[in-house]
Every structure is written in structure tokens, then in C-alpha cells.
Amino acid sequence: MTVTATSVGEPEQLEPLAAPAPRGAHRVRRLVPAAAASLSGVLLYVSFPPRTLWWLALPAFAVLGWTLRGRSWKGGLGLGYLFGLGFLLPLLVWTGVEVGSGPWLALVAVEAIFVALVGAGIALVSRLPGWPVWAAALWIAGEAARARAPFDGFPWGKIAFGQADGVFLPLAAVGGTPVLGFAVVLCGFGLYEIMRLAVEGRRTGGVLRRGAAVVAALSVVVPVLGAVAARSLVSDKAENGTATVALVQGNVPRSGLAFNAQRRAVLDYHARETERLAAKVKAGKVPRPDLVLWPENSSDIDPFANADAATVIQRAAKAIGVPVSVGGVVERGGKLYNEQILWDPNKGPVDTYDKRQVQPFGEYLPLRSLLGAINANWTSMVRQDFSRGQKPGVFTMADAKVGLVTCYEAAFDWTVRTTVTDGAQLISVPSNNATFDRSEMTYQQLAMSRIRAVEHSRTVTVPVTSGVSAIIMPDGKITQRTGMFVADSLVQKVPLRSSETPATRLGTLPETVLVLVAIGGLGWALASAARGRRDRGAGDVALEEPEVTEPAR
């Protein structure tokens, strides 16, 4: 039995005490949100390539919305971290393919912190009117932060990169990866809000809060209608004629970190496949290309310092008879560069592009002295840091302007955009994925290139040392692709385009607007929480004040 508070002078009212729930049931109830957050993160991972289950991102965010709505910021922080682990642990497992689980787990642990902070923010704004909008903007703000820090950022796992096969894809042409990702997350949170309001309506006899219902419906309808309207921005029409491109995939002697142990073999393989392509052209089996694209690391022997490497490349270029873009490792002025070299069949090397966004712990080693002091073996894999290029790379090959975005750079919005604004009519993403064997990394990166094709309305070519090499149309569709760890070549006539999409013209503006929306929502939520605490405090003081009576006159 329990005693309830009564008015003075009234008899105490006794109510039966409900039987306490079993202690185990309480534990289970506490574990349900944690399990749901983790599993919804895994669901989001399953929506990513190589699978084409893009739509699973919507229920993933719907479940995340259920776990976070109405919770304290501390609860949101923990649940957000679990969601991040569920998503990023399987997504980034390829980072430990050759170097062990240590770097993989460390990377995930750091990246999940950003997701945790977003979870805390979503928990706070979930009490606001129209919370799906604020919550989706917060997610994009978290992606913006991840793309910039630490060590110049790691944007792998942006929601947009999982939508290459989805209905929202045309939105990439509107505002790039931030707008595409915002639409997906907003739609997911909107679906949860619709379901929540429907349940609430049944409990209240069909009474719905009109404003909340309208916002929830618009959170789903507007992204879908926006994607349908944005299809008009996607076009494969040639604006500056066409070019017949050839991609050469020479293959490597072995996968993993040892692929580079036989650098001369890698160069020979690509030269041999180019000469084989030249023989096919001569026999009339394939069209004569206007330009040939080799992958990153196709000549890790510096052709400027090694005459034998230059001779091999020159012979291959002479055989095919058109300009060749060669991926090389070049030392200049005591500095090391990951470089694309434009090789003319008659003049030799005539232009270069140095990779601007170099990969931390892969191409340069942050905190080298600290890591070396802990374990000298950790610094042996990157003996010399690569230096950064300073300018976008656009090669004039035949009559085409080819923009260069080397491998890891495809994950960064700014590197691709500056190449297009510098005049690229088509984009090449030369890559070397041999280090990561047959992992999902290759397919995740290929999806990024598909998003970039739509974002900037350009043909994107992806020549890779060991596969998958591919040709992607401006609408994001792959028209040709190779297998993995085979020698092969692709030849195709592709459109050249020079018009700019809204995403190209707007640059970082859509992302900036969404970040400001996130800050505004967070500020509103914090101010509301502070006002609520003040009001409760004032009420408590009023209850504690003694009754004041006027003195007798």
C-alpha cells in the first residue's frame, strides 16, 4: 500500500501498490534502445555498396529517431556512439585488411565520436516543433565536421555515397552530397514521426496535432518530389562533342601491401596491356581511342629519374599513338609526389598533376615522432611523406579537357568541384586499390564516382590497377566495367560537357546553410531547456515562500 498526499484535515487515501516489475525486465527495457541503435547502424551499413539496398537507409534513420527522441543529451551521446559503431565497424573493415585490426578499430573509435555528438544534438532538438528538419541538418553538420578533422578529415561513409542506385540521386546535382544526404536522413526521420503520430492518434481516439502531422508528411514528401524535379538536371547530352576514351587496367603481381614490391612488373603490365589494346585497334576489333588513361601507381618507378621506365612508357604511348595519362611516383626537389603525367606519343611528358588531398597514415604519417617513439615499426610503412600538389589538374588530351581526381580525392567535395570549375569536360579518377584486396572498399569508392558524375554532370572514368575499372555516364550509370585482378581495357565514346549544375555553382553554400540550420536548432533547444529550468526553479521558490498577511489596521 502507498500513501498519497491529501488536503489538510482530509483522511489519508490508501491506494494499492502495483506489483514491481521483475528486475530483469528493467534491465531488458534499458538494453532495448542500445540494441536498436546498434542494429540500426548495421542496417545503414547494409544500405551501402556493393549492395543496392539504398532504401534501407530510411528505416535505419527511422529507428535511430525512435531511440533518440525525447532523451537527454547524455543518453543521445551514448546511443549515437553505438549507432556509429554499428555503421562504421563493418563499413571500414577494409582499412585493416593488410595492417591488422588496430588501425581499423582506432579509426572507427574516433569517427564514431562525431556520430555520438550528433546523437546528443538530435536528442536535444527532438523536443522542438519540426524536429526531423533540425535533426537531419545536425547529421549533415556532423558529416561536414568529419570531412575536415582530424588530419584534414575522412568523409568516407557520407550518406550520399550509399545512394548511387536510389531515387534521391538527382539531388546531388542540386546541392552535392550535403543536399542528397539531408534528403535521405530527413525522409527517414519523417517516416518515424508519421508512425509515432499515428500511434499517438490511436491512443487519443484519432486526435492528431495538425502542425506536427503536416511537418512529418512534408519531411517525406518534399525530398521525394525534389528528387523527381531534379531529374531535369541530369543529362547525357554532349555539349562539346565526344571523345573516345580508353582505360587500361594492367593488374598487379600480387594484392595487399606487397603489390608494390615488384614496381617494374606493375609498369610492364600496364605497358603490355596498352600495346595489346593497340593491336586490337589495328585489327579493327575496337575503335581507335582519342586518349588513354592509366591508373594511379601504374609507374611507381620515377620516369623522370629512370630512363628505362621512360622508355617503357614511351614505347606504349607510341604504340597506341595518342596521349596517355600515367600515374607515377615522382621525387622532385627532395619531395615525393603522387603524380599524374601527361605523356605525348611524340613529345614525351608535357604536363603533370600532383595529388592535393594525400591520405593520412597511407601517404603521409601524422604525429610521426610520437608514433615512432611508441613503436618504430609503425613508421616503417610510410618511410617518406608525400607532399601535396597546389593546383587542380586538367589535362588537354586531344580535344578533350580531362580533370584528374586521384583515388582518395574522390571522397572530398572540394577536390572534384575545383577540377570542374577549372574547365574539366570529363573526369578521371585514377586509383590503386590493390592494397585492399577484394574488399568492399573498391565498390564504395566506385559509388562515390557515380555520385560525382551526377553532381557535376560529367562522364567519370575510373582506371584502377587491379579493378574495378569503369566508365560512368553523367547520369551515374556504369556502362562498362572490368573484373578484379585481371588485365583488361575499356574503350567507349563519351560525351564532353561544360555546363555547370547548381551543385557546381553553389559549392559549399548548401552545406553552410544546413550547418547554420543545425546551429539554430541546437541553440533553440538549449534556450528552451534553460527557460524550462528557470520556470521550474521559480515555481519551487513560490511554493517555499511563507504566507504573508497584512498587519491589523
What is the pLDDT, as a whole number, of residue 541?
A: 58
Residue 84 counted as domain residue: yes
Distance CA 88, CA 10 (A): 61
Q: Is the peptide bond prior to 150 cis by the omega test (within 30 degrees of 0)?
A: yes
Q: Which residues are catalytic?
A: 296, 355, 407
Residue 496 lies in domain: 242-362+383-503
Residue 375 counted as domain residue: no
- pLDDT of the chain, 553 residues: tens digit per residue: 343 443 333 333 444 444 565 666 667 777 999 999 999 999 999 999 999 999 999 999 999 999 999 999 999 999 999 999 999 999 999 998 877 788 899 999 999 999 999 999 999 999 999 999 999 999 999 999 999 999 999 999 999 999 999 999 999 999 999 999 999 999 999 999 999 998 888 887 766 678 889 999 999 999 999 999 999 999 999 999 999 999 999 999 865 544 445 778 999 999 999 999 999 999 999 999 999 999 999 999 999 999 999 999 999 999 999 999 999 999 999 999 999 999 999 999 999 999 999 999 889 988 888 877 776 766 777 778 999 999 999 999 999 999 999 999 999 999 999 999 999 999 999 999 998 889 999 999 999 999 999 999 999 999 999 989 999 999 999 999 999 999 999 999 999 999 999 999 999 999 999 999 999 999 999 999 888 888 777 766 555 555 544 444 3
- 3-state SS assignment for residue 478: strand
Q: Is the peptide bond prior to 110 cis by the omega test (within 30 degrees of 0)?
A: no
Distance CA 355, CA 350 (A): 17
Q: Are residues 222 and 322 in the same domain?
A: no
Residues 6+ apart with CB under 8 A from 355: 337, 338, 339, 340, 363, 386, 388, 389, 406, 407, 408, 409
Q: Are residues 319 and 182 in the same domain?
A: no
Q: Are residues 499 and 518 in the same domain?
A: no
The residues facing 402 across adjacent strands are: 395, 426
CATH number at residue 356: 3.60.110.10
- Type and span of the H or E element at 344: strand 335-344
Burial class (CB in 10 A: 0-12, 13-18, 19+), 210: exposed
Residue 17 counted as domain residue: no
* Residue in the structure block whose three cell numbers are 617513439: 373
What is the pLDDT, as a whole number, of residue 369?
A: 80
Residues 6+ apart with CB under 8 A from 541: none
Residue 21 counted as domain residue: no
pTM of the full predicted structure?
0.90
Q: Are residues 333 and 450 in the same domain?
A: yes
Quote the number of domains for the chain: 2
- 3-state SS assignment for residue 469: coil
Cell numbers at 161, concatenated = 555515397
Q: Are residues 456 and 413 in the same domain?
A: yes
What is the pLDDT, as a whole number, of residue 412?
A: 97
Cell numbers at 213, concatenated = 502531422
Distance CA 179, CA 454 (A): 13
- Type and span of the H or E element at 400: strand 400-404
Residue 151 counted as domain residue: yes
Return the number of other C-beta atoms located less than 10 Å from residue 82's C-beta. 23
Q: Are residues 130 and 225 in the same domain?
A: yes
- Type and span of the H or E element at 462: strand 459-462
- Type and span of the H or E element at 311: helix 307-320
Distance CA 81, CA 411 (A): 23
Q: Are residues 351 and 451 in the same domain?
A: yes
Residue 10 counted as domain residue: no
Q: Sign (positive/negative) of CA torsion 492, 497, 503, 508? A: positive
3-state secondary structure 262-296: HHHHHHHHHHHHHHHHHHHHHCCCCCCCCEEECCC
3-state secondary structure 12-43: CCEECCCCCCCHHHHHHHHHHHHHHHHHHHHH
Residue at which a domain ends, from 458, 479, 503: 503
Q: Are 227 and 171 in contact (CB under 8 A)?
A: yes
What's CA 336's distance to the chain center, in Å?
28
Phi–psi pair at 502, nearest 5 degrees: -55, -35
- 3-state SS assignment for residue 501: coil
Q: At what angle do helices 57-68 and 101-125 cross, to 10 degrees?
A: 60
Q: Which of these, 411, 405, 479, 477, lies nearest to 448 by C-alpha position?
A: 411
Q: Are residues 449 and 339 in the same domain?
A: yes
Q: Are 330 and 336 in contact (CB under 8 A)?
A: yes
What is the pLDDT, as a whole number, of residue 370?
A: 80
Cell numbers at 452, concatenated = 560525382
Q: Are residues 516 and 499 in the same domain?
A: no
Q: Are residues 184 and 274 in the same domain?
A: no
Half-sphere exposure of 374 (CA within 13 A, CB side): 6
Q: Are residues 139 and 268 in the same domain?
A: no
Residue 8 counted as domain residue: no
Q: Are residues 153 and 227 in the same domain?
A: yes
What is the pLDDT, as a whole number, of residue 543?
A: 55
Return the number of other C-beta atoms located less than 10 Å from residue 304's C-beta. 15
Residue 548 counted as domain residue: no
Side-by-side strand order, sheet with 393-397:
393-397, 400-404, 426-428, 459-462, 470-472, 478-481
